[in-house]
Amino acid sequence: MGPFPKGRYFTMGIFLFLFSSTTLTTIKGAGSEALPESLPSVAGTLPHFVQEPEDAYIIKSNPIKLRCRAAPALQIFFKCNGEWVHQSQHESRERVDEGTGLKIREVMINVSRQQVEDFHGPEDYWCLCVAWSHLGTSKSRKATVRIAYLRKNFEQDPQGREVPIKGMIVLHCRPPEGVPAAEVEWLKNEEPVSALNDDNIDTRADHNLIINEARLSDSGNYTCLASNIVAKRRSASANVVVFVNGGWSLWTEWSTCSVPCGRGVQKRSRTCTNPAPLNGGAFCEGMSMQKITCKADCPVDGGWGEWSEWTACSPECDRQRSRECSAPAPRHGGKLCEGAGQATENCTGGQCTQNRRLLHDVKPQSMEGTNDVALYSGLAAGVIAVCILVVAVTLYRKNQSEYGVDVIDSSALTGGFQSFNFKTARQGNPLLLNSSMQPDLTVGRTYSSPICFQDLMEKELFDPLPDIKVKVQSSFMVSLGVADRAEYHVKAHPETFPRGLNRDYSSMESQKPGLLTPNAPVTPTKTQLRTTGVFGHLGGRLVVPNTGVSLLVPHGAAAEDASWEMYMMVNTEESSAHSEEGNEILLGPEVTYGPPGLSLSCPVAMTIAHCAEVSEDNWNIRLKRKTQDNKWEEVMSMEDETTFCYCLLDSHSCHLLLEQPGSYALVGEPLTESAVKKLKMAVFGSMGSSSLDYSLRVYCVDDTPHAFQAAVAAETGRGGQLLEEPKTLRFRGNAFNLQVSIQDVPQFLWNIKPFTTCQEFSFSHVWCSNQQPLHCAFSLERYSPSTTQLSCKISVRQVKGDEQILQVYTLVAEAEKEQVPFFTHSDCTVTSQTGPKAFKIPYSIRQRICATFDTANAKGKDWQLLARKLHIERNLSYFAKQQSPSAVILNLWEAQHQDNSDLDSLASALEEIGKIHSKSPVKTPEEPKSDFS
């Protein structure tokens, strides 16, 4: 089809004019019968359209048909895009409307896809109709013709969701581009959502699907279906999961006490079933079990009281006396007293008859004879008691001889690294020392290994404090006198130490020189990790070097006229503190302090390093103590609050306040697979039996200084060298093994022995190593003696866990062997310090703090506020029972901050307290004056 040529417009007009004239002439010249047919035309109306062309879409290659009807109309033609359509492309029909008698002319044309595609204009392809009558022309509306299509890809597919129950679900859908625009329908599990008739589901005009409150039944696969006259398109399915987070049930009743007698534990539990987690919902947060200490009354067996006086002699020639079972009376199911509660004897010496029988044949006993027997019996018992006492003292002294005092020259405390002499103490030294006892200093031997002493001279102790005077004038720090130049001159009691012993006494039974130095001896030596010191009223500190273990003896713990020889040692054998039947593991070394008969007025502070990544949700950490029969009993759990023990757990150490000497160990029970034990990774190297052989040994030990020192000691005996600074690996309790592999070995210079490229530790061996070092070895061989360098990587990774890379670069030639140094551990090798030098807080400042906070104050400025500001908020009931709660809090602070060399955190806490109380209202004259003013 094509439009009329423009040159024919004039011809068309003449044709229409002639056509009209001819028609009118025919009508006028006709008979009367023809007139009625022509009357409506003669009426003279413009043509009006009975049917106008409608918009249409071309689907694929099928042409569309545009239709137009008008009445009265002499002729109708289509005009497309401003040009006439050729008459040959029109299809015309004519009929008479029965109702009006008017002629209705209908015209149709076809429009092809090619015509629409070939048209290029500012608007869509369009066509309209033009109808003629005697009075003029009329135009129809424009009808657009467009090519219909629907693209394949959605502009936005709905995305899967995981929502909690009763949460809102919003699924977005943007259908593909199409002509005409696509209509959207949602399907759930291939069923139309509109058919559900659910008021909770809303399909919006923007094609989004909204579920107001999610239910479990709303879980499913949701699909967005877009369609128009051309095609239908399906989006990717969105998986909607409605989950239920777990909720705790009610707590059960407390169980009975775990022991029938004494201090035990009560437990109660709850389950994550209210509701149970569904569809991946979160498990309940918090503990599923709680434990509290309990005290069960122990049975008390009855004991006889004193006999009463004899009664007067009765006519029957006898007398009686009695006793009661009341010393003590049986309680709580205890046994009754055994024996008779009454006694009867003859009181006439046989001169009286009883029961009609003579008693003269009963041998009389004189009082004098009775006294002789009692005297000899008493003497014999005394001799036996003296013999037993002598034997006991001899055995006791023999047993305690291993804890003899080693005397160190006081000049070693003046600072720096100095050689020192220490001598074996006299055997049989008693536990409690006094001024009348002389130590035996006649036999000894000299060691040249240096000991590092902290320089805690007066300047270092007080330098951090004067600055506070500028910052916090009129604050609490000024009221304590910290702003002034602090002085502490503590006069020791003249009998605090035995004669001949220096106040800075310090000793170690055995010192292993140079464990981490290039010139360390290669011969292994058995080291007993044991430290001793003599402590009096001034107190002090014991440290087992490079183990993370120390003991703080507070000032005033010992009486002014007494000194104690105290010791602390770390068990180097495999400990049995953990439960082999359960899932407990040892988190730090087993530590013992003594002597057993130690009597102090306030608790000591012990610090033990541990390897756990602390989390109450993942660990149940407990403190255990060894009983007299070498069995381990639980002292407390870390979440417990008790009045006989205190535990402050931080990321690397556990700080304990203890009142009873003995052996202690920290054990942990994992509660979830997310429990993490920190491991220390280290690689050592040494030459093999052949000059071409070289061995790499990788150690996996618990991340405590003590456990790492065991690996260093083992390598010292082998002549090994530490090739890379040790690194830490987080080892999860998820039952997956630990793999160690060697990588990037130069293939043309080195050869790896078969079956050693990758090795594996089982999970149980690593998890339950209990401070014992584990290691594996890689055997290498160099092809030529001229190869002097080795570079490679050691990968240590837990399956489905973390990984650490140890980079090895070393010289393996014999001449270069001693030039690769060990990395020195950061711990100082102080073993013992006494007096003010052992403490960070000056004594005068300490006294002022205690005097201020131990006194109750109406504003709440007491020791509880001090504990909160120092972040020691747990178990305040423990401090409440102490004679000076503030002093014990400061002792714990000292133990926690022994690795820091300043008092900033304490000063900041006191400054903050001073600022808080300086803002209090002005006091009335009746109010007592506060020491803050």
Nearest to 138 by CA among 48, 51, 42: 48
In this predicted structure, what is the pLDDT of residue 291? 85
Give 915 or 694, the one with higher predicted confidence. 694
Tokens 């005397």 locate to: 407
Asked if residues 431 and 415 have their Cβ atoms less than 8 Å apart, the reply is: no
Length of the chain: 933
Which CATH number describes the domain made up of 48-147? 2.60.40.10
Peptide bond into 40 cis (omega under 30): no
Q: What is the pLDDT of residue 828?
A: 52
Burial 178-195 (b: 16+ CB within 10 A, else e): bbeebebbbbbeeeebee
What pLDDT is recorded for position 857? Answer: 65
Q: Using the predicted structure, report yes or no on whether residue 793 has a pLDDT greater than 90.
A: yes
Torsion of CA 462, 465, 466, 467, to 10 degrees: 140
Distance CA 63, CA 740 (A): 74
Token pair listed for 99: 């109702």
Contact 268/253 with Cβ under 8 angstroms?
yes
Considering only residues 905 and 519, tell me which one the structure prediction assigns the higher pLDDT. Answer: 905
Q: Please give the mean pLDDT across all residues of the chain.
A: 75
The answer to whether residues 672 and 286 touch, using CB atoms and an 8 Å cutoff, is no
Cis check: omega of the bond before 746, within 30 degrees of 0 = no
Picking from 291-305, 505-519, 649-663, which range would have the lowest pLDDT averaged per residue?
505-519
Q: How far is CA 367 from CA 22, 56, 317, in A?
A: 181, 144, 18
pLDDT reported for residue 69: 92
Is 77 within 8 Å of 84 (Cβ atoms)?
A: yes
Residue reference for tokens 């060298």: 721
Q: Give the whole-angstrom CA distance, residue 194 versus residue 188.
A: 10
> What would the CATH number be for the domain defined by 529-573+580-672?
2.60.220.30
* Distance between CA atoms of residues 710 and 170, nearest Å: 60
**What is 676-811's CATH number, 2.60.40.2660, 2.40.128.120, 3.40.366.10, 1.20.120.1200?**
2.60.40.2660
Residue-wise pLDDT tens digits, 159-183: 998 999 989 999 999 999 999 999 9
pLDDT at 2: 45
48-147 against 840-913: fold identical: no
E strand or H helix at 662: strand 662-670
191 beta partners: 188
Check residue 415 and give its pLDDT.
33
Which tens digits make up the pLDDT trace of 223-274?
Answer: 999 999 889 999 999 999 999 999 999 999 999 888 888 778 889 999 999 9
Give the model's pLDDT for residue 350.
62
**What is the model's pLDDT at position 44?**
63
| pLDDT value at residue 392 | 75
For 3-59, what is each residue's pLDDT tens digit? 444 334 333 443 444 344 433 333 333 333 333 333 344 346 788 898 999 999 999
State which of 30-44, 136-150, 569-583, 753-767 shows the largest mean pLDDT: 136-150
For the domain bounded by 149-243, which CATH number is listed? 2.60.40.10
| Res 766 pLDDT > 50 | yes
Residues whose CB falls within 8 Å of the CB of residue 802, separated by 6 or more in sequence, listed in order: 729, 730, 731, 732
What is the rounded CA–CA span in Å between residue 747 and residue 559? 70
Residue 506 has what pLDDT?
A: 35
The residue that leads in pLDDT, 385 or 920, is 385
Summarised one tens digit per residue, pLDDT across range 441-481 is 333 333 333 334 333 333 333 333 333 333 333 344 444 54
Element housing 239 (H / E)? strand 238-243
What CATH number is given for 247-296 in this structure?
A: 2.20.100.10
Residue 393 banded pLDDT, cuts 50, 70, 90: low
Query: Which neighbouring-strand residues pair with 714?
Result: none
Examine the pLDDT at 340 and tell me if it is beyond 70.
yes
Instruction: Determine the Cα–Cα distance for residues 250 and 137; give it in Å rounded to an integer.
Output: 90
| 412 in Cβ contact with 830 (< 8 Å) | no
pLDDT tens-place string over residues 686-744: 888 888 889 999 999 999 998 888 888 888 888 888 998 999 999 998 889 999 999 99
Name the residue among 743, 78, 838 with its Cα closest to residue 413.
838
Alpha-carbon distance of 615 to 651, in angstroms, equals 10
Phi/psi at 395 (nearest 5 deg)?
Answer: -65, -40
Token representation of residue 195: 């058919």
Would you list the domain boundaries of the chain?
48-147, 149-243, 247-296, 529-573+580-672, 676-811, 840-913
Q: How many CB atoms lie within 10 A of CB 852?
A: 22
Q: What is the separation, in whole angstroms, between the first and last Cα of the chain?
A: 108
Per-residue pLDDT band at 655 (split at 50, 70, 90)? very high
Q: Per-residue pLDDT tens for 821-838?
A: 444 444 455 688 888 888
* Residue 76 pLDDT > 80: yes
- Please count the other Cβ atoms lying within 10 Å of the Cβ belonging to residue 304: 15
Q: What percent of the chain has pLDDT over 70?
A: 73
DSSP assignment string, 352-396 = S-BTTB--TTSPP--HHHHHHHHHHHHHHHHHHHHHHHHHHHHHH
CA distance 833 to 21: 137
**Tokens in use for 574?**
């495999």
Give the contacts of 903 (CB within 8 A, at least 6 positions apart): 464, 465, 840, 841
> Based on the number of CB atoms within 10 Å of its own CB, is 578 exposed (0-12), middle (13-18) or buried (19 or more)?
buried
* Predicted pLDDT of residue 561: 86
CA-closest candidate to residue 433, choices 561, 590, 526, 285: 561
More confident residue, 436 or 686: 686
**Which listed CATH number (1.10.533.10, 3.30.750.24, 1.20.140.10, 1.20.210.10) goes with 840-913?**
1.10.533.10
Cα separation, 717 vs 533, whole angstroms = 29
Report yes or no: 317 and 353 within 8 Å, Cβ to Cβ. yes
pLDDT above 60: residue 790: yes
Residue 478's alpha-carbon distances to 423, 463, 472, 486, 933, in angstroms, are 47, 15, 7, 12, 10
Return the minimum-mean-pLDDT range out of 151-155, 302-306, 378-382.
378-382
Angstrom distance (rounded) from CA 343 to CA 511: 68
Cα–Cα nearest to 713, from 450, 548, 840, 526? 526
Confidence of residue 898 (pLDDT cuts 50, 70, 90): confident
Query: For 537-577, what is each residue's pLDDT tens digit?
Result: 899 999 988 888 999 999 989 888 888 899 999 987 777 77
How many whole angstroms separate alpha carbon 208 and alpha carbon 201? 11
